[in-house]
Amino acid sequence: MSVPGPRNSICDVAGLTVGCAEDANCVTGTTVILPDQPGTAAICVAGGGPG
């Protein structure tokens, strides 16, 4: 098991930049996670009304 970083957050993960993107016209935003190296990402959205 790994030891938590100094902030105990995803910001402690080497190779990732974490921020947010916002749209003031729609009054909405989302978390953005950008890897330093190319990779493959996936998501599973269960329930609700995605989109």
User: Tens of pLDDT along 1-51?
Assistant: 788 899 999 999 999 999 999 998 988 999 999 999 999 989 887 776 656
pLDDT at residue 12 in the model: 92
Kindly list the distances between the CA atom of residue 16 and the CA atoms of 8, 22, 26, 28, 43, in Å, as whole numbers in the listed order: 14, 19, 27, 23, 17
Identify the DSSP state of 27.
Answer: T
Q: What is the pLDDT of residue 45?
A: 76
Question: What's the confidence (pLDDT) of residue 50?
Answer: 58
* Cα–Cα nearest to 31, from 46, 43, 48: 43
pLDDT for the residue 2: 80
Q: Are 15 and 33 in contact (CB under 8 A)?
A: no
